A and B are shown apart, each in its own frame.
Chain A
Amino acid sequence: MLPNRSRLSVLVFLLPPLLLYGVAVLFPILQSLFLSFFSWNGISDMEFVGLANYVHMLTGDGVFWRSFFNALGYLAICLVLQLGGALFVASLLTSLRRGAGIIKTLYLLPAVISTVAIAFLFVRIYSIDPVGLLNQVLGWIGLGGLERPWLSDVNTVLAAVSAPEGWRFTGLYMLIIYAALLAVPQELEEAARLDGANQWQMFTKIRFPYIRPVWITTTIMATTYGLRGFDIPYLMTNGGPGQSSELLTTYMYKTAFTSTDFGYASTISVFIVVECLVAVGFILLMLKRKADA
Chain B
Amino acid sequence: MTAQTAPVTRPVPAPPSSPAPRRRRRKPNVFRSLSRTLIVLIVVVQVYPLAWLFLTSLRNEHDFATGDPFALPSSISFDNYARAFQTGNLGQNILNSFIVTMGANLLIVLLGMMAAYALQVLGFRFSKFVRGLFLIGIIVPVQIALVPLFIDYSSVNLLDTYQSMIIPLAGFALPMSIYLFSSFFEYIPRETYEAASLDGAGPYRIFGLITLPLSTNTVVTVVLVNSIFIWNDFIFANTFVLSEGLKTIPLGLQNYIGAMGKVDWTATFAAVCITITPLLLVFLVLNKAMIQGLESGATKG
Contact = CB atoms under 8 A, between A and B. Distances in A.
Interface in A1-51: 1-7, 9-10, 12-14, 16-18, 20-21, 23-29, 31-32, 35, 42
A42 B295 contact: no
Interface stretch (B72-80, B84-92, B122-130, B215-223): B122-130
B107 A20 contact: yes
Given A23-B171, A24-B172, A25-B171, A228 B143 contact: yes
Q: How large is the interface on A (under 10, 10 to 19, 20 to 34, 35 or more residues)?
A: 35 or more
Interface string B157-182: 00000000001101110110010000
Among A1, A28, A101, A252, the one with the most B-chain Cβ atoms within 10 Å of its Cβ is A28
B287 to A, nearest CB: 5
A77 to B, nearest CB: 16
A241 B206 CA distance: 60
A180 B197 contact: no
Given A4-B197, A176-B298, 20 more contacts: A1-B123, A2-B122, A3-B194, A4-B201, A5-B203, A16-B111, A18-B115, A18-B133, A25-B140, A25-B168, A95-B13, A105-B287, A113-B276, A114-B253, A115-B234, A121-B50, A182-B7, A265-B147, A269-B144, A276-B141
A45 to B, nearest CB: 14
6 contacts: A26-B133, A120-B256, A122-B49, A133-B52, A179-B295, A228-B142
Nearest to B50: A109
A98 B6 CA distance: 21
Given A20-B171, A104-B291, A228-B142, A2 B203 contact: yes
B253 A120 contact: yes
A17 B12 contact: no
Interface stretch (A61-69, A86-94, A141-149, A153-161): A86-94
Given A120-B268, A176-B298, A179-B299, A29 B140 contact: yes
A152 interface: no
Interface string A92-120: 11111100110111111111111111001
A256 B50 contact: no
Contacts of B69: 130-133, 136
B122 A1 contact: yes
Nearest to B301: A217
B151 interface: yes
Query: Which 7 A-B pairs rank lowest in CB-CB distance, beginning with the nearest?
Result: A24-B171, A228-B141, A31-B148, A114-B232, A17-B115, A179-B7, A28-B148
A124 to B, nearest CB: 6
Contact of A175 (B65, B272, B295): B295
Interface string A71-85: 000000000000001
A21 B141 contact: no
Name the prevailing secondary structure of the A interface residues. helix
Contacts of A282: none
Given A120-B253, A130-B65, A13 B207 contact: yes
B39 interface: yes
A262 interface: yes
A92 B175 CA distance: 33
A243 interface: no
B171 A16 contact: no
A167 interface: yes
Among A25, A35, A94, A117, the one with the most B-chain Cβ atoms within 10 Å of its Cβ is A25
